[in-house]
Structure 1
Amino acid sequence: MEVDDLDWNRTLREQWEFHWDHQIRARLAGLTDDEYFWSPVPDGWSVRPRGTSTAPVQAGGGEFTIDYAFPTPDPAPFTTIAWRLGHVIVGVLAARNAAYFGTDAASYDTWEYADDAATALHQLETQVDTWLVGVRTLSDAKLAIPVGSKEPYPEASMADLVLHIHRELIHHLSEVCLLRDLYLHTRHTTNGATR
């Protein structure tokens, strides 16, 4: 195959779509509210009812906020599944969907964070679908255009951004799956009874 014949858009999309369709989506099915909010360590960052957080920053436009700090402490606090999904939904996807594909503006400060696992998974599905629809519209010429001032690395191409977003999705949603495994193996005995 000649390089000029390669369908770059399909290749970029398949990096994420394969992982989403064959690994992540099934692993997220059945996420419970207890798992969503569970923290195996004290003082982890999460999504919480407004006014109940002790984090330096509580961002959000609805009844629930996400814990944050600027700058991020070192070491960074442990983050729950709720926090990780909030980060992926808003910071990784919704803000980029707004910046590049014309959806409503989205930010950590204005987002209405999910107060349960089912709503969070619905938000995630919606943002993933929007992202993939948008990426499908990118021609080779559009993939080569620098992203400009919308990103920390303005000289990076749109293809670079697509790869970055897909790495972020794979990274953070794999963490969510690992937390589900940890929850299962630390919160239940071998006969399925909760500890």
Structure 2
Amino acid sequence: MTPGRLTPLLEQFDFARRRLTDRMTGPVVDSGDANGVEVGPMTDEEYLWEPVPGCWSVRRRSDGPGPRATLLTGTGEWGRDATPPPHPSPPPFTTLAWRLTHLSEMLTLRADHVTGSHTLTRDDYRVSGDAASAVAAFEAAATAWRQALLSTDDVALDTVGHSTYPHGSDPDDVFLDVVWWVNQELLHHGAEIALLRDLFRTRRR
């Protein structure tokens, strides 16, 4: 049975996931006031749109990293702009593609470090170079994370280091705090992605 403390966090995760997926694919997204808003599916042009100069994005490895980035994370033909700490200041503006692949990578790796091999790193994650693949990757990542949560009991929720995810403070955190943080990341980046879709739709041509 799902621990009672986990139930509201699962419900929040499911709502935020559905809202983001609908926002990226359409045909309708929940506006928040029970009225549906029509949206079209995200295009490749929109996915890779750089609204300001010097954006961090996802790029073909043959093109190399973008401005102020020193490497492309992930595996495959595409990678995501990055640099080892310390990160550039002020931080670069990141594209919809950067934000979505970051979110999907985080979910995939955290699921692996809860119920999987406990070995995956950013270098193992396959970065998507087109919108359809990126949306599918997000759905797969969100499903994997939710399945990891369903395997959790009350003891695990109170366990420090139940998640061994290496790119955050998870090994030092109580797992219930990690679950809360992942929801915050989904809500945060989901809102950013929604705003970038709105800006792309209304941009000057």
How big is the alpha-carbon RMSD for the aligned residues of Structure 1 and Structure 2? Answer: 1.9
Equivalence for 2:91: 76
Match of 1:174 among 167, 179, 191: 191
**Counterpart secondary structure, 1:119:** helix
**Relative contact order, higher structure (CA 8 A, sep 6+):** 1
Equivalence for 1:183: 200
Percent identity for Structure 1 against Structure 2: 35
1:164 aligns with 2:175: no
Q: Relative to structure 1, is the Cα distance of residues 149 and 15 closer, same or farther in structure 2, using a 3 angstrom cutoff? A: closer
1:94 aligns with 2:108: yes
- Structure 2 matches for 1:18-167, cutoff 5 A? 18-21=15-18, 23-29=19-25, 30-52=41-63, 53-54=65-66, 55-70=69-84, 71-90=86-105, 92-102=106-116, 105-147=119-161, 150=164, 151-152=168-169, 154-167=171-184
Which structure: greater helix fraction? Answer: 1
Equivalence for 2:7: 10
Deviation at 1:162, TM superposition (A): 0.4
Q: Relative to structure 1, is the Cα distance of residues 116 and 110 closer, same or farther in structure 2, using a 3 angstrom cutoff? A: same
Measure the CA separation in 2 of the matches of 1:162 and 1:153: 10
Deviation readout 1:108-140 (Å, 9 max, x if unpaired): 223221111000000000010111111012111
Deviation at 1:106, TM superposition (A): 3.2
**Counterpart secondary structure, 2:123:** coil
Q: Relative to structure 1, is the Cα distance of residues 87 and 49 closer, same or farther in structure 2, using a 3 angstrom cutoff? A: same
Measure the CA separation in 2 of the matches of 1:111 and 1:130: 14
Measure the CA separation in 2 of the matches of 1:66 and 1:56: 10
Report the TM-score, using the length of structure 2 for normalisation. Answer: 0.82
**Counterpart secondary structure, 1:109:** helix
Measure the CA separation in 2 of the matches of 1:59 and 1:26: 27
Measure the CA separation in 1 of the matches of 2:60 and 2:163: 34
Which residue identity does 1:133 align to in structure 2? Q
Measure the CA separation in 2 of the matches of 1:46 and 1:120: 13
Which residue identity does 2:91 align to in structure 1? A
5+ residue gaps, structure 1: 1-5, 188-194
Q: Relative to structure 1, is the Cα distance of residues 104 and 47 closer, same or farther in structure 2, using a 3 angstrom cutoff? A: farther
**Counterpart secondary structure, 1:8:** coil
Deviation at 1:81, TM superposition (A): 0.8
Deviation readout 1:11-64 (Å, 9 max, x if unpaired): 22112112223x222111111101100011112000011131332122221111
Deviation at 1:103, TM superposition (A): 5.5
Higher Rg of the two aligned structures: 1
Deviation at 1:75, TM superposition (A): 0.7
Measure the CA separation in 1 of the matches of 2:157 and 2:139: 24
Measure the CA separation in 2 of the matches of 1:8 and 1:96: 20
Report the TM-score, using the length of structure 1 for normalisation. Answer: 0.86
